[in-house]
Amino acid sequence: MAKGRVTKDDWTMAALRALARGGVAAVAVDVLAKELGVTRGSFYWHFDNREALLVAALETWELRATTEIVEAVRELPDPLARGRALLTEALGSEKIAGLEPALVAQTAHPAVAAVVTRVTRARLAFLAEIFSDLGLGPQDARHRALAAYAAYLGWLELRRTAPEPAPEAQPDDTGAPAALDHLVDMILAPVSS
């Protein structure tokens, strides 16, 4: 990357990678500037302070990992196809490995807590909408959404913490597609049969 030619998005993505590596404490302007190959002054061109960078990074994550995906999947006319597409996208490869578990672990920080809460609400609501569209009543749709979201979080944590005993959770493992299909089928099974 050319020195001095980084965008606000470059900074936010660097902050998200840092969050995945070491949580909120890892979002250090000097470290990120070095990673991006720019001076600290580049940071101040885009942000007033470190907290503004953190908030921008979290909002970028919310937009790209939830809002944009929900909008794209919602366009599919068939609710079963929506469910399968959503779960396959969510459980497939991560854009930034370990980011979701790292964010969930950092909810003691107010900015992280606020965004994780919004994202969780939006994701659960969309999952419940899909299950409702598949014919479940409101309470069953909500319960299925909770179970699906728990499976998602567990899958990501398994990917992060157990790559050797559970290689199928790794996106690049040869057994990953079959394991992922099986998990998605389990989540959707009673609804789709």
- 149 close to 126: Cβ distance less than 8 angstroms: no
Tokens encoding 188: 């959707």
Range of the domain at 23: 8-192
Q: What pLDDT shows up at residue 148?
A: 97
193 residues of the chain, pLDDT tens digit each: 444 589 999 999 999 999 999 999 999 999 999 999 999 999 999 999 999 999 999 999 999 999 999 999 999 999 999 999 999 999 998 899 999 999 999 999 999 999 999 999 999 999 999 999 999 999 999 999 999 999 999 999 999 999 999 999 999 999 999 999 999 999 998 765 4
Classify residue 1: in a domain, yes or no.
no
Give me the CATH number covering residue 166. Answer: 1.10.357.10
Q: What pLDDT shows up at residue 3?
A: 46
How many domains, in total, are found in the chain? 1
Classify residue 2: in a domain, yes or no.
no
- Global pTM reads 0.92
Q: What pLDDT shows up at residue 5?
A: 82
Classify residue 73: in a domain, yes or no.
yes
Classify residue 43: in a domain, yes or no.
yes
Kindly tell me the burial class for residue 21, based on how many C-beta atoms sit within 10 Å of its own C-beta (0-12, 13-18, 19 or more): middle
Residues 90, 152: Cα–Cα separation, whole Å: 7
Q: What pLDDT shows up at residue 93?
A: 82
Q: What pLDDT shows up at residue 78?
A: 96
- What separation in angstroms does the CA of 76 have from each of 22, 69, 73? 37, 12, 6
Classify residue 3: in a domain, yes or no.
no
